[in-house]
Amino acid sequence: MPLLSPIYKIAIVGAGTTGLALAGFLKAAGHAVDLFERFDAPRPLGAGLLLQPTGLAVLARLGLDEKLIALSSPVHRLYGETQRGTVIYKLDYRWLAPHLFGLGTHRASLFQVLYNHVQGLNVPIHTGCDAIKTRTHADGKLSLHMADGRDAGPFDLIVDASGRQSKLALRHGAVSHDTPYPYAALWGVVHDLEGFSTDQLLQRYDAARVMIGTLPLGQTPTDPRPHMAFFWSLPARDHAVVRAAGLSAWQDGVARYWPLMRPFAEQFTAFDQLTFAEYGHRVMKRWHAGRLIFTGDAAHPISPQLGQGANLGLCDALILSEALSREPGIDEAIATYSRARKAHLTFYQIASRWMTPFFQSDQKLAPWVRDRSFGLMCRMPWMREEMLRTLAGVKTGLFRHLDPGHWHPRYRLKP
């Protein structure tokens, strides 16, 4: 570790969870940071998120976890069952350690907490900047080019945190392949009537073709009453058909599978209140192209099945900022970062790819196996602990895991 940490001029592309968290860490470490966002006003997209102890430990390092917890809803239990009442999983973070929990949060709450923090650090946020490519100069520095012809730079390092649609990752040939999943989801936010979803994520399945779920979120930025995310899985190819059939046909369909959901589904008065979210699986050739480095969903988008994407992006932000402080040069920092992230990211990329057909697919065998084995596994102590570690975001291999307590003691695995 150098006696004095090097100070760099760094551009971050994308003011999402990953980019904002990274801006917070890098600015606090003394780097000159510029954040570029394509929207005219940065804003969150989508409904809610489940944050894991890993993501919460990273937020704690920024001093932000308690602010977010005050706006959100702790999630202790996860419960999934089939329409016929077969328990598929019944898990409780507290079985891992009594102080651990997930956090159901509105995307706007997470965005606001991170955005206010970055603004408070006086990070320049350049909006309306659609970054499309970078150019490396003879001295190794880079400039960033926007779709409207503007340039920015030179920078010592450019970090791409522009999400799955990243133009930089495609442009710079870093993507090996990107496969969209055949299933997608409709997501929206509703009032949590009478504390239905308090403290637990609930899901109901019919084979893997139907998945309905609720996640408590706490407040929205404009309404202090308790809310929850409501989600409905569907084949992406059926989206237009579902919309054409009309909202009340969809609401009847929801109630047919889960009658208790009718009052929630009926809170929607137009399909436009539901976000249609498609997702995919990406494998990168490498996580950097010279001194352009890919982080968050730009580098490793995964299906939301395990609730890990934003948490992985937060971990990227912390570990990249630590590598830049520890190593004597940028290239060494990039190599250290790539090594440090490999096991964690590889585990969750494989696990989410492997799990998705059990919960969202046209397959018959995978949900048949699921209905007969997952509930049993939840009752076997070793399997249950591994399932909980997977959920908590700490796995780095089949028999290995990290401890978010190294990042912040509030989220250590042992009491």
**Binding-site ranges for ligand FAD (CB under 6 A):** 13-19, 36-39, 49-50, 129-131, 161-163, 165, 167, 185, 187, 277, 279, 296-297, 304, 307-311, 313
For ligand FAD, which is the closer residue by CB, 148 or 194?
Answer: 148
199 by Cβ neighbours in 10 Å (0-12 / 13-18 / 19+) ranks as middle
Q: Which residues pair with 90 in a beta bridge?
A: 79
Find the shortest distance in angstroms from Cβ 131 to ligand FAD: 4
* SS3 labels along 283-348: EECCCEECCEEECHHHCCCCCHHHCCHHHHHHHHHHHHHHHHHHCCCHHHHHHHHHHHHHHHHHHH
> H helices within 206-302, ranges in order?
239-245, 247-257, 262-265
For ligand FAD, which is the closer residue by CB, 371 or 392?
Answer: 392
What does the buried/exposed string (b/e) look like for 205-222 if buried means 16 or more CB atoms within 10 Å of the residue's CB? bebbbbbbbbbbbbbbee
Cα 281 to the center of its chain, rounded Å: 13
For ligand FAD, which is the closer residue by CB, 159 or 334?
Answer: 159
Find the shortest distance in angstroms from Cβ 122 to ligand FAD: 20
Q: Which of 119, 312, 117, 102 is nearest to 218 (CA)?
A: 102
For ligand FAD, which is the closer residue by CB, 62 or 310?
Answer: 310
Find the shortest distance in angstroms from Cβ 93 to ligand FAD: 14
What distance separates the 2 farthest-apart alpha carbons in the chain?
A: 66
For ligand FAD, which is the closer residue by CB, 17 or 72?
Answer: 17
Find the shortest distance in angstroms from Cβ 380 to ligand FAD: 26
204 by Cβ neighbours in 10 Å (0-12 / 13-18 / 19+) ranks as buried
For ligand FAD, which is the closer residue by CB, 348 or 374?
Answer: 348
Are β-strands 73-75 and 175-180 bridged in parallel, bridged antiparallel, or unpaired? unpaired
Q: Which residue has the tokens 């408070």?
A: 120
Find the shortest distance in angstroms from Cβ 155 to ligand FAD: 14
Strand order in the sheet with 102-106: 48-51, 102-106, 73-75
For ligand FAD, which is the closer residue by CB, 258 or 348?
Answer: 348
Q: Which of 177, 187, 201 is nearest to 232 (CA)?
A: 187
For ligand FAD, which is the closer residue by CB, 226 or 296?
Answer: 296
Find the shortest distance in angstroms from Cβ 90 to ligand FAD: 19
Find the shortest distance in angstroms from Cβ 234 to ligand FAD: 12
Q: How far is CA 149 from CA 129, 325, 346, in A?
A: 10, 33, 37
For ligand FAD, which is the closer residue by CB, 92 or 371?
Answer: 92
Q: Are 42 and 15 a contacting pair, CB within 8 Å?
A: yes
